[in-house]
Amino acid sequence: MKLATYRDGSRDGQLLVVSRDLTQAHYASHIANRMQQVLDDWNYLSPQLQDLSDALNAGRARHAFTFDPRQCMAPLPRAYQWVNGNGYPSHGEVLARAAGVPIDPGNDQEPQLTQGSGANVWGAMDPITGARDTMGLDFCAGLAIVTGDLPMGCAADSALDGVRLIMLCNAAHLYVGPLILQRPGTAFSPVAVTPDELGEAWSRGRLHGQLQVTWNGRKVGLCDAGANMHFHFGRLLSALAQTRPVPAGSIVGAGPVSNKAVERKGRAEWPQGYSCIVEKRAMEILQDGQPSTDFLHHGDTVRIEMKGAGGASIFGAIEQEVVRSNS
Amino acid sequence: MKLATYRDGSRDGQLLVVSRDLTQAHYASHIANRMQQVLDDWNYLSPQLQDLSDALNAGRARHAFTFDPRQCMAPLPRAYQWVNGNGYPSHGEVLARAAGVPIDPGNDQEPQLTQGSGANVWGAMDPITGARDTMGLDFCAGLAIVTGDLPMGCAADSALDGVRLIMLCNAAHLYVGPLILQRPGTAFSPVAVTPDELGEAWSRGRLHGQLQVTWNGRKVGLCDAGANMHFHFGRLLSALAQTRPVPAGSIVGAGPVSNKAVERKGRAEWPQGYSCIVEKRAMEILQDGQPSTDFLHHGDTVRIEMKGAGGASIFGAIEQEVVRSNS
């Protein structure tokens, strides 16, 4: 099933069930008002949401209405935990090569996780705020999952049983040089999707599909989110649970989707593009000795989407505009 | 007023008002069930809690009962944000000196904040879990505040208006060498206290008083939490709000309370002791060339408390025992 949260003036919004084709929606108020409620009590509440989803997809839901992603908060508008990992170590590798520093030997050996703020979460069409003149503002397009409860020490395979929902995300980063200085916030796709809804595209902790990234109307990324995912979500969750349990409603990202370079006539190329500007700049340094792509400017737009086998949008699109804040 | 949360089998527990002397308590169910509710709607709900607090302290509350800190979850049992800062840069300084690395020039210039998990929060008497044979387990005793809503870009002074509650905390750390590898969880004092309750001890973002740290029954720390606090809570909050708003219910810590060394006969000494083992080990390296104090073992106990001018406990005590997990 597909779930979303509509803005209603409250901090947690109103839970919706959304049709598979993203055209229709239905309030879930008679089952649960808030997404966290469902995550806290998944075994009891999710079958009821599934029934509503079935009715909605069959055109039998009584009070269905047209789904409007502009009304969406993030599916989970505030989370008790937001952790981003390095599912795609080729990202770290290209950044290290460009910076001329040794590649961290752990880069593709052990997942690395960065704790973020679960309180600074944006809806899919909210502006990107927090830009500063003195820092480079970047998007970072990727996948994220929402968890159920996982026990401390759980293994990668069993951790996958705790994947409740899958979303797209855009984690804004502010850089000075190659250093991340600030993380102003993270946007999530309008809709969060249960693993069963993804069919064979979801396989053993990886979502197979191309992540489309469009910057100011120009397609800049079509990276394969499945084939190049080195640490699948079970590995990331198992690493997170190493010394502590993972409570329901934790959001775990896999970092920017990144594809390995291919060699063409002795030159490294990345035909599938990029999911974050800092990686594009690293590619340029490796190719030309210096970066030529600038970071985001006021008024820039970023669009992130993934389409299913039939060409339909799975999660709806993240569509954000950069809005300057005072520096 | 003083607030606490009793365990009731739910994830968020039941909100209590506690008497100033920590002997009596009263459920706040007729006002709000959960602490986050109060933080979300502080201006409306806190005066009602204050009335209950006044009645309780005057012996007029009808259904008061004996307060038992063993029944306490953390005052805010799960938080949308938990950030620990470096309020006491002498901590980073002594660690850098002992490691023989240059002191980060930013150490006492700009607050440094580390995002943690707001989902891994312990009650004051919960065991410390997550220990591993291969890592050194440490306590880290300090102060933390719970915020209201703060706008992006707020200044240090106005940020102090957003301090809703003050608590003690114990952030467990796992080290390999000088590197923090894992943060299994953080315990908070039984009771969270509003700034007005602290009288003159709370002054311009600093709490003046000694943080008593007892390890296996032995007093190891009596650090002054006020005088040596370089970045007060307003500074830490302002730094956190630099590129994003700080939403209600964020918890911000000031890191381990640390006091500067004093010179005695050409030798550095720390007569007020320490609030975390890693700092004690650094002192030993500077004094004797090598550390002699080992990290925590299974069965060790840690007690953290602060007493007011009259000698009474302000927040109740954090009293934890280390429980081995499988490695």
Q: What distance in Å separates residue A327's CA from the closest CA in chain B?
A: 9
The lowest-confidence range among A20-34, A223-237, B74-88, B122-136 is B122-136
Which chain A residue shows the shortest CA-CA distance from B185? A244
Strand partners, B203: B206
For chain A, residues with pLDDT lower than 50 are 327
List pLDDT tens digits, range B42-59. 999 999 999 999 999 999
**In the prediction, which pLDDT does A107 show?**
83
Which chain B residue shows the shortest CA-CA distance from A116? B115
Using alpha carbons, select from B164, B186, B175 the residue that is nearest to residue B119.
B186
The last residue of one of the domains, among B71, B101, B123, is: B71
Same domain, A120 and A180: yes
Which chain B residue shows the shortest CA-CA distance from A326? B153
List pLDDT tens digits, range B258-312. 999 999 998 999 999 999 999 999 999 999 999 999 999 999 999 999 999 889 9
The last residue of one of the domains, among B71, B96, B118, is: B71
Same domain, B96 and B228: yes
Residue B78 lies in a domain: no
Residue B197 lies in a domain: yes
Interaxial angle between packed helices B277-288 and B89-99, expressed in degrees from 0 to 180 and rounded to the nearest 10: 50
Residue B77 lies in a domain: no
Residues B12 and B123 sit within 8 Å (Cβ to Cβ):
no
**In the prediction, which pLDDT does A131 show?**
86
Range B204-228 burial, b when 16+ CB lie within 10 A, else e: ebbbebbbbbbbeeeebbbbbbbeb
Same domain, A10 and A102: no
In angstroms, the CA B204 to CA A185 distance is 29
Tell me, rounded to whole angstroms, the distance of Cα A43 from its chain centroid.
24
Judged against a pLDDT cut of 80, whether residue B200 lies above it is answered with: yes
Residues B327 and B211 sit within 8 Å (Cβ to Cβ):
no
Q: What distance in Å separates residue A247's CA from the closest CA in chain B?
A: 6
- The answer to whether B119 contacts A40, with C-beta atoms less than 8 Å apart, is no
List pLDDT tens digits, range B203-213. 999 999 999 99
Same domain, A7 and A94: no
Same domain, A153 and A14: no
Residue B181 lies in a domain: yes
**In the prediction, which pLDDT does A86 show?**
95
**In the prediction, which pLDDT does B327 show?**
44
Burial of B311 (0-12, 13-18, 19+ CB in 10 A): exposed
What DSSP letter does each residue of B62-99 carry, written as one string?
TT-EE--GGGEE-SSSS-SEEEEE-S-HHHHHHHHHHH
Same domain, A154 and A245: yes
Give the pLDDT mean for B212-219. Answer: 98
**In the prediction, which pLDDT does A60 show?**
97
Amino acid residing at A23: T
Q: In what order do the strands lie in the sheet with A318-324?
A: A128-131, A318-324, A301-306, A210-215, A218-224
Residue B76 lies in a domain: no
**CA-CA-CA-CA dihedral for B83, B88, B90, B93, to nearest 10:** 20
Residue A267 token pair? 């030159």
Same domain, A227 and A308: yes
**CA-CA-CA-CA dihedral for A105, A106, A108, A109, to nearest 10:** 120
Residue B246 token pair? 């700080």
In angstroms, the CA B230 to CA B101 distance is 21
**CA-CA-CA-CA dihedral for B135, B136, B141, B145, to nearest 10:** -10
Amino acid residing at B223: C
Same domain, A236 and A298: yes
Q: What distance in Å separates residue A86's CA from the closest CA in chain B?
A: 16
List pLDDT tens digits, range A8-33. 999 999 999 999 999 999 999 999 99
Which chain B residue shows the shortest CA-CA distance from A122? B244
- The answer to whether A244 contacts B120, with C-beta atoms less than 8 Å apart, is yes
Q: How far apart are the first and last CA of chain A?
A: 42
* Phi, psi of B236, rounded to the nearest 5 degrees: -65, -40
Q: How many CB atoms lie within 10 A of CB A294?
A: 10
Residues B104 and A102 sit within 8 Å (Cβ to Cβ):
no
- The answer to whether A120 contacts B40, with C-beta atoms less than 8 Å apart, is no
Residue A188 token pair? 């999530």
Q: What is the mean pLDDT of chain B?
A: 95
Residue window 30-49, chain B: list those with CB within 8 Å of chain A.
Answer: 40
The last residue of one of the domains, among A28, A43, A71, is: A71
Integer CA distances (angstroms), A312 to A305, A317, B4, B181, in order = 10, 11, 50, 42
In angstroms, the CA B119 to CA B184 distance is 10
Coil vs helix vs strand at B245 = coil
Chain B positions in Cβ-Cβ contact with residue A184 (cut-off 8 Å): 243-244
**In the prediction, which pLDDT does B75 show?**
98
Q: What's the length of chain A?
A: 327
Determine how β-strand A202-203 pairs with β-strand A192-193.
unpaired
**In the prediction, which pLDDT does B163 show?**
98
* Phi, psi of B37, rounded to the nearest 5 degrees: -55, -45
- The answer to whether B245 contacts A152, with C-beta atoms less than 8 Å apart, is no
Burial of B97 (0-12, 13-18, 19+ CB in 10 A): middle
- The answer to whether B184 contacts A78, with C-beta atoms less than 8 Å apart, is no
In angstroms, the CA A100 to CA A290 distance is 12
Same domain, A186 and A311: yes
Residue B79 lies in a domain: no
**In the prediction, which pLDDT does A325 show?**
65
Same domain, A20 and A57: yes
Q: Is B326 on the interface with A (CB under 8 A)?
A: yes
Q: Is A132 on the interface with B (CB under 8 A)?
A: yes
Strand partners, A113: A85
In angstroms, the CA A32 to CA A35 distance is 8
Residues A201 and A307 sit within 8 Å (Cβ to Cβ):
no
- The answer to whether A120 contacts B185, with C-beta atoms less than 8 Å apart, is no
In angstroms, the CA A250 to CA A147 distance is 5
What CATH number does the domain containing A247 carry?
Answer: 3.90.850.10
Same domain, B174 and B223: yes
Residue A292 lies in a domain: yes
- The answer to whether B249 contacts A118, with C-beta atoms less than 8 Å apart, is no
| % chain B with pLDDT above 70 | 98
**In the prediction, which pLDDT does B181 show?**
77
* Phi, psi of B209, rounded to the nearest 5 degrees: 170, 165
Q: Which residue has the higher pLDDT, B68 or B108?
A: B68
**In the prediction, which pLDDT does B201 show?**
96
Residue A299 lies in a domain: yes
User: Using alpha carbons only, what angle is made at residue B34 by residues B29 and B37, rounded to the nearest 5 degrees?
Assistant: 110
Give me the domain span that covers residue B121: 84-323
Same domain, A99 and A153: yes
Q: Which helix (H) or strand (E) holds B200?
A: none
- The answer to whether A132 contacts B246, with C-beta atoms less than 8 Å apart, is no
How many structural domains is chain A composed of?
2
